[in-house]
């Protein structure tokens, strides 16, 4: 007994019957070809009966094949308006079942208005073409000699991953922003599709591994899209590599450090905080999106960038957290898509990149009073002065707490481990510090021991 899956395909065509009301060799020949791909054709010569079968046994079918010139009702004659009448009915069934089945046209293409009908159908099919493949296959032309093999091979390929169609339907408001010629790279679409499929159908995704953490990759593709739309400064990239932490800061309304021609500068989005009590100024991300993005960034592996191919596996003990972040990423993508639609002028967006010239005293309060709008140029580089300021120079000044790996720091001070309640991106005032005698003293000459 075979263990291979048989894919049942609903086939509505102008089928011929003999005097005993049995299908002629025409059908048998097509079924023979389909059988090579483990496909069982379930034939009907009218939509009325086919629709009844589809509604009754929807979960049994893996795809639908339609002729362009067929009968709508059992006792009708063939109608050229067949496809125009059937597609709205299919849409209603998909909505009722909350699932979408791939469908294709298989026709001789001899109708007078064939091109018009095909173009109308292609409009509905195009949103799925990236996953389902080509819509139209010709029966009787020289170009269509291999149509049966191409069609059945495509159906079998899609049927193996049919669960993904459920994911696409449930998260259509996310995937409308992902894919070729869409807002975010098609590679992000594949990653999100597979992650969500593993969430809903774990039995089909037992060997679940990636080249690099997929969540981080999707986040990087979002940031690349933001740069393309003028919403992220070039200074948040190190060459072609996304500096995820810096990109997160920029879009959350914080200042981002970089060096240009030996001069320290900062870049930010829009206006700075209106007063010293405010933590952030004008921002792209809302506070909710900022929090989600930061949590995803902290959860993901620092070494899992889009250019790397190292294998990454879901930690069984943390997979619930992982899938929780996958769903939150859907929310971030939807929010971002709506934001870009409302802020689609790239040049106007770029005008909101503001450069801040830094004086020798780089405390936050002084920096924020020296804003000048200039053109951004080079990637982010963190630098340290050759001679550190004195403790008296850095005390009683405000700083933004940042992270390097597992260590928190503010300005030139790494935070003492005893400071338990300090969080990344928190605005603090340095009260006291001691000299750092460790190996990183050149970069962080002091250790903050008391903050407010």
DSSP letter (8 states) at residue 235: G
- Burial of residue 135, with CB atoms counted within 10 A of its CB: 0-12 exposed, 13-18 middle, 19 or more buried: middle
Q: What is the crossing angle of helices 244-251 and 287-299, to 10°?
A: 170
Copy the structure tokens of residue 415. 């935070």
User: How far are the Cα atoms of 70, 413, 417, 429 from residue 304, in angstroms, in the given order?
Assistant: 53, 28, 27, 34
H helices of 68-183, in order, are 82-97, 114-125, 129-132, 147-160, 163-170, 172-175
pTM exceeds 0.85, yes or no: no
Distance CA 171, CA 177 (A): 11
pLDDT recorded at residue 444: 85
- Give the start-to-end residue ranges of the domains of the chain: 7-160, 180-356, 385-451
| Per-residue pLDDT in tens (0 to 9) along the chain, 452 residues | 334 567 889 999 876 554 555 555 567 788 888 999 989 999 998 999 999 999 988 877 889 999 888 888 888 877 777 888 899 999 999 988 877 899 999 887 767 778 888 888 888 888 888 888 889 988 764 444 567 788 999 998 888 777 766 788 789 899 999 988 899 998 999 899 888 988 888 765 555 666 668 899 999 999 999 999 999 999 999 888 999 999 999 999 999 988 877 788 899 999 888 776 666 789 999 999 999 999 999 887 544 555 455 566 676 777 888 899 999 999 999 999 999 999 999 999 999 999 988 765 444 443 333 333 333 444 433 333 335 667 777 888 888 888 887 888 888 899 998 898 888 778 888 999 988 888 888 888 899 999 98
Buried residues in 32-50 as b, exposed as e (16+ CB within 10 A): eebeebbbebbbbbbbeeb
CA end-to-end span of the chain: 74
At residue 277, the 3 state secondary structure works out as: coil
Q: Which residue's entry shows tokens 């830094």?
A: 358
- Dist. CA 365–CA 379, nearest whole Å: 25
The set of long-range contacts for 232-236, using a CB threshold of 8 Å and a minimum separation of 24, is 233/267, 233/269, 233/353, 233/376, 234/376, 234/377, 234/378, 234/379, 235/267, 235/376, 235/377, 235/378, 235/379, 235/380, 236/380
Question: Rounded to whole angstroms, how far apart are CA atoms 424 and 315?
Answer: 25
pLDDT for the residue 212 = 67
Contact 329, 218 (CB under 8 A): yes
CATH number of 7-160: 3.40.50.2300
């Amino acid at each position: 007994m075979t263990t291979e899956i048989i894919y049942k395909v609903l086939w509505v065509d102008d089928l011929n019957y003999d005097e005993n009301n049995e299908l002629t060799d025409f059908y048998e020949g097509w079924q023979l070809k389909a059988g090579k791909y483990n496909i069982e054709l379930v034939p009907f010569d009218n939509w009325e009966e086919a629709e009844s079968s589809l509604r009754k046994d929807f979960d049994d079918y893996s795809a639908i094949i339609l002729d362009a010139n067929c009968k709508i009702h059992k006792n009708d004659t063939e109608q050229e308006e067949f496809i125009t009448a059937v597609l709205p009915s299919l849409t209603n069934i998909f909505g009722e079942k909350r699932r979408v089945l791939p469908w294709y046209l298989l026709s001789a293409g001899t109708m007078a208005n064939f091109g018009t009908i095909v173009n109308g159908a292609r409009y509905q099919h195009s949103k799925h073409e990236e996953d389902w493949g080509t819509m139209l296959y010709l029966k009787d032309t020289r170009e269509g000699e291999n149509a049966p093999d191409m069609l059945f091979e495509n159906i079998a390929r899609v049927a193996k991953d049919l669960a993904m169609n459920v994911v696409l339907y449930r998260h259509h408001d996310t995937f409308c922003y992902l894919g070729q010629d869409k807002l975010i790279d098609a590679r992000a679409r594949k990653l999100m599709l597979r992650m969500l499929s593993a969430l809903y159908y774990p039995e089909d995704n037992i060997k679940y591994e990636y080249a690099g953490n997929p969540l981080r990759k999707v986040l990087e593709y979002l940031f690349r899209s933001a740069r393309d739309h003028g919403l992220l400064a070039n200074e948040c990239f190190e060459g072609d590599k996304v500096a995820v932490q810096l990109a997160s800061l920029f879009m959350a309304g914080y200042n981002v450090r970089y060096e240009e021609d030996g001069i320290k500068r900062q870049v930010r989005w829009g206006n700075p905080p209106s007063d010293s009590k405010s933590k952030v100024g004008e921002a792209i991300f809302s506070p909710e999106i900022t929090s989600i993005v930061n949590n995803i960034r902290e959860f993901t592996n620092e070494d899992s960038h889009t250019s790397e191919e190292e294998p990454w596996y879901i930690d069984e003990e943390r997979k619930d957290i992982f899938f929780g972040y996958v769903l939150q990423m859907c929310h971030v993508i939807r929010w971002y898509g709506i934001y870009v639609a409302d802020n689609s002028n790239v040049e106007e967006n770029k005008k909101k990149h503001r450069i801040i010239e830094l004086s020798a005293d780089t405390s936050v309060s002084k920096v924020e009073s020296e804003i000048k709008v200039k053109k951004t140029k080079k990637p982010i580089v963190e630098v340290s002065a050759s001679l550190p300021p004195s403790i008296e120079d850095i005390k009683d000044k405000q700083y933004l707490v940042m992270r390097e790996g597992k260590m928190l720091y503010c300005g030139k001070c790494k935070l003492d481990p005893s400071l338990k309640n300090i969080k990344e991106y928190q605005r603090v005032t340095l009260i006291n510090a001691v000299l750092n005698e460790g190996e990183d003293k050149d970069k962080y000459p002091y250790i903050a021991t008391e903050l407010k």
